[in-house]
Amino acid sequence: MKGKIFIIEDEASIVQLVQHNLEKEGFIVSSSLNGNEGLKELKKFEPNLLLLDWMLPDLSGIDVCKNIRRDSNFKSLPIIMLTAKGEEEDKIKGLESGVDDYITKPFSFNELHARIKAVLRRSDPKVVANELIYEDLKLDRIEKRVFRSDNEIQLGPTEFRLLEFFLINPKRVYSRDQILETVWPNNVNVESRTIDVHIRRLRQSINIEGKKELIRTVRSSGYSLI
């Protein structure tokens, strides 16, 4: 799935054309013909990108935009604004109010598609920034959450640190001593076998629904993340 796109645009012909073409490209698309309703539906739909007409019957594009940026669930939702020729003034206002890109009507679908790809690509890195990812395993250091294939996994503090440690250098094998030194607070004395128990707990937590084992035992050496 390439992503979900929401369209707010009052010209039905444009909506139809764009929606059809985007769906053909593999996007999931939903749309609304006016601002107020659009805002509500959009928040239910949770798109990855919004195509927003600047001249709507009820709300102005700016109002829609501001509303979205105020809502913390959507404040980083990429927005491409659709503007009629000659609305240069508005373009500037648009960019100032947090729009990511704009395109002037009439536009070709190819042009729009290119912009969408660019904006989606640009907006990607911010998602990655604080996340450690390995295969279908994701650990968010800021939110302190762990996911396996998008299912959230509950970990105790030690298991969290342990997994964080493995994720920094996947595939690398660490001895029990190395693990102890890094994962446990300094000056703490714990039995080396204690690590085995925590490894077991971590394994149990992240090996959900029969997914493949992610922690490898290297006999006489230690453990590694696959």
Partner DNA sequence: TCTTAATGTTACAGAAATATTACAAATTAA
Partner DNA sequence: TTAATTTGTAATATTTCTGTAACATTAAGA
Binding site residues, a copy of itself, CB under 8 A: 69-73, 75-76, 88-89, 91-92, 95, 98, 101-102, 111, 114-115, 117-119, 121-126, 129-135, 141-144, 156-157, 164, 167-168, 170-173, 182, 218-221, 224
For DNA, the closer CB: 81 or 162: 162
Q: Which does 211 bind (CB under 5 to 8 A by kind): a copy of itself, DNA, none?
A: none
Please give the Cα distance from 19 to 7 (Å, whole number): 8
Q: Are 222 and 174 in contact (CB under 8 A)?
A: yes
Please give the Cα distance from 80 to 94 (Å, whole number): 10
Cα end-to-end distance, the chain, whole Å: 27
Q: Are 139 and 167 in contact (CB under 8 A)?
A: yes
Smallest separation (angstroms) from a copy of itself to the CB of 131: 6
Binding mask 191-210 for DNA (x = CB under 7 A): x-xx-xxxxxx-x-------
For DNA, the closer CB: 57 or 156: 156
Please give the Cα distance from 93 to 97 (Å, whole number): 6
| Contacting residue, 53, 90, 100, 159, with DNA by CB under 7 A | 159
Please give the Cα distance from 176 to 220 (Å, whole number): 10
Residue 96 binds to DNA (criterion: CB under 7 A): no
Smallest separation (angstroms) from DNA to the CB of 214: 12
For DNA, the closer CB: 105 or 201: 201
Q: Which does 205 bind (CB under 5 to 8 A by kind): DNA, a copy of itself, none?
A: none
Q: Which helix (H) or strand (E) holds 137?
A: strand 137-140
Please give the Cα distance from 73 to 151 (Å, whole number): 19
Please name which of 34, 94, 97, 33 lies closest in space to residue 66, comparing C-alpha atoms.
97
Query: Which residues are near DNA by CB under 7 A?
Result: 154, 156-159, 184, 188-191, 193-194, 196-201, 203, 217-222
